[in-house]
């Protein structure tokens, strides 16, 4: 039997993720949205493309949560996107209510699913989804670290004129302006970028990574990024459905790792069929520790503004 992925939110991120899954034939896809006709139209368009992609999966659009029943993976993209001048944090209270509703509905129908949260502010929304659904925290995770690391890889490849596929990057902390790109753990074919680029060249790359989402919002003017977030989400889905045991930077619930408890924040983790199978604890130097703690504090400050 083919695996089933339900994407909650048929906007740009959700629809792009659905397209990638359908194109690669990874799983049957259900695209849910409250807007009548919109998910059905997008799903039908994708279904009609499947013969051209040599893909045998089904793609269904729906306004009913019932169609998401027995999903292997639930992806939550629902919520309002950023607009120019807005931070991810500005979306806090509105999106918290959306995610609460989604988590409550989907957990009843797919209690064993792994849940990937994309909605911003993502670390807080992952916490909201976990607490609302009552799911094992290892099966609820946030996407941001993979996206942030991909942006860091991209900017490094621009700077050095090398393929981004040869760059391995790590970004930790919250998925926001206080995220923590990690140059010491970022390599090109195994060589740390600290051995290739001087600090004055690395600093602007870190800053551009932290503002990567805002840069796209300012260019688009009417929305936020979706191609890279969708691709990051699909990398996580593939790791789960194929039990790949990938080490990926995800927002996970910490239980004392890195000296942090009862919060979701981005760290490297082993991702497989059971969700988060292991948190990888790295040795942080004094500067990295200070930056990480600052990022954690920013996430905690947001959590204190909502009731879960």
Q: Which two tokens stand for residue 134?
A: 């009552």
Residue 87 has pLDDT above 70, yes or no: no
Q: Output the domain CATH number for residue 11.
A: 3.40.50.720
Q: What is the pLDDT of residues 61-70, one digit of tens each?
A: 999 999 999 9
Question: Is residue 90 a part of any domain in this protein?
Answer: yes
Question: What confidence score (pLDDT) does residue 123 get?
Answer: 96
Q: Sort 271 into a burial class: Cβ within 10 Å, 0-12 / 13-18 / 19+.
A: buried
The single residue of 9, 175, 183, 276 carrying the catalytic annotation is 175
Is the domain of 151 the same as that of 290?
A: yes
3-state secondary structure of 251: strand
Q: Pick the residue with more confidence: 55 or 176?
A: 55
What is the C-alpha to C-alpha distance for residues 141 and 84, in angstroms, rounded to an integer?
27
Is the domain of 299 the same as that of 150?
A: yes
Q: What is the dihedral of CA 129, 243, 229, 302, to 10 degrees?
A: 30
Q: What is the pLDDT of residues 285-307, one digit of tens each?
A: 999 999 999 999 999 999 999 98
* Matching residue, tokens 């502010």: 121
Question: What confidence score (pLDDT) does residue 223 get?
Answer: 85
Is the domain of 231 the same as that of 94?
A: no
Question: What confidence score (pLDDT) does residue 308 get?
Answer: 78
Question: What confidence score (pLDDT) does residue 1 get?
Answer: 80
Is the domain of 159 the same as that of 295?
A: yes
Query: What's phi and psi for 304, nearest 5 deg?
Result: -70, -15
Is the domain of 70 the same as that of 166?
A: no
pTM value > 0.75: yes
What is the C-alpha to C-alpha distance for residues 162 and 187, in angstroms, rounded to an integer?
12
Q: What is the pLDDT of residues 2-49, one digit of tens each?
A: 999 999 999 999 999 999 999 999 999 999 999 999 999 999 999 999
Q: Which two tokens stand for residue 222?
A: 């009417």
143, 167, 188 - which closes a domain: 143
Other Cβ atoms less than 10 A from the Cβ of 19: the count is: 20
Please state, rounded to an integer, the average pLDDT across all residues of the chain: 95
3-state secondary structure of 59: strand
Is the domain of 120 the same as that of 33?
A: yes
- The residue range of the domain holding 173 is 145-303
Closest among 207, 210, 187, 209 to 197, alpha carbons compared: 187
Is the domain of 113 the same as that of 65?
A: yes
Q: What is the pLDDT of residues 203-243, one digit of tens each?
A: 999 999 999 999 999 999 888 999 999 999 999 999 999 99
Cα-trace Rg, the chain: 19
Is the domain of 64 the same as that of 11?
A: yes
Listed range (26-35, 79-88, 245-254) with the worst mean pLDDT:
79-88
Q: Sort 206 into a burial class: Cβ within 10 Å, 0-12 / 13-18 / 19+.
A: buried
Q: Output the domain CATH number for residue 299.
A: 3.90.110.10
What is the C-alpha to C-alpha distance for residues 228 and 20, in angstroms, rounded to an integer?
11
Reported confidence tier of residue 88, pLDDT bands at 50, 70, 90: low
Question: What confidence score (pLDDT) does residue 81 get?
Answer: 75
What is the C-alpha to C-alpha distance for residues 71 and 34, in angstroms, rounded to an integer?
19
Enumerate the H helices of the chain as residue ranges: 12-24, 38-53, 92-109, 122-133, 144-160, 199-210, 212-220, 227-241, 286-303
Question: Is residue 49 a part of any domain in this protein?
Answer: yes
Question: Is residue 294 a part of any domain in this protein?
Answer: yes
What is the C-alpha to C-alpha distance for residues 248 and 14, in angstroms, rounded to an integer?
21
Q: What is the pLDDT of residues 105-123, one digit of tens each?
A: 999 999 999 999 999 999 9
3-state secondary structure of 248: strand
Other Cβ atoms less than 10 A from the Cβ of 3: the count is: 17
Question: Cβ distance 235 to 146 under 8 Å?
Answer: yes
Other Cβ atoms less than 10 A from the Cβ of 201: the count is: 13
Pair type for strands 4-8 and 73-76: parallel
Residue 84 has pLDDT above 80, yes or no: no
Reported confidence tier of residue 86, pLDDT bands at 50, 70, 90: low
Question: Cβ distance 124 to 101 under 8 Å?
Answer: no
Q: Is 175 an annotated catalytic residue? A: yes
Number of domains in the chain: 2
* Matching residue, tokens 């993979």: 146
Q: What is the pLDDT of residues 143-190, one digit of tens each?
A: 989 999 999 999 999 999 999 999 999 999 999 889 999 999 999 999
Is the domain of 29 the same as that of 56?
A: yes
């Amino acid at each position: 039997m083919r695996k089933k992925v339900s994407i909650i939110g048929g906007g740009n991120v959700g629809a792009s993720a659905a397209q990638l899954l359908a194109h690669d034939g990874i799983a049957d896809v259900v695209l849910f949205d409250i807007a009548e006709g919109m998910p059905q139209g997008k799903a039908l368009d994708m279904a009609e493309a499947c013969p051209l992609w040599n893909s045998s999966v089904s793609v269904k659009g729906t306004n009913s949560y019932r169609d998401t029943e027995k999903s292997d993976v639930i992806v939550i993209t629902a919520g309002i996107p950023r607009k120019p001048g807005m931070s991810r944090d500005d979306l806090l209270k509105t999106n918290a209510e959306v995610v609460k509703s989604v988590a409550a509905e989907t957990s009843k129908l797919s209690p064993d699913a792994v849940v990937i949260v994309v909605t911003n502010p993502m670390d807080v929304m992952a916490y909201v989804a976990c607490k609302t659904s009552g799911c094992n925290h290892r099966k609820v995770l946030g996407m941001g670290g993979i996206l942030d690391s991909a942006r860091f890889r991209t900017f490094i490849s621009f700077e050095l004129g090398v393929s981004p596929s040869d760059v391995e990057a790590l970004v930790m902390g919250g998925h926001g302006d206080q995220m923590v790109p990690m140059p010491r753990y970022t390599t090109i074919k195994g060589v740390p970028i600290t051995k290739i680029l001087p600090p004055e060249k690395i600093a602007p790359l870190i800053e551009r990574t932290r503002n990567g989402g805002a840069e796209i919002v300012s260019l688009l003017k009417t929305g936020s990024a979706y191609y890279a977030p969708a691709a990051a989400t699909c990398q996580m889905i593939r790791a789960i459905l194929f039990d790949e045991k990938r080490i990926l930077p995800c927002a996970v619930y910490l239980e004392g790792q890195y000296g942090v408890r009862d919060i979701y924040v981005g760290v490297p983790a082993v991702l497989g069929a059971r969700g988060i199978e292991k948190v990888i604890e790295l040795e942080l130097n004094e500067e990295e520790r200070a930056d990480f703690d600052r990022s954690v504090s920013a996430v905690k400050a947001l959590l204190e503004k909502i009731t879960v």
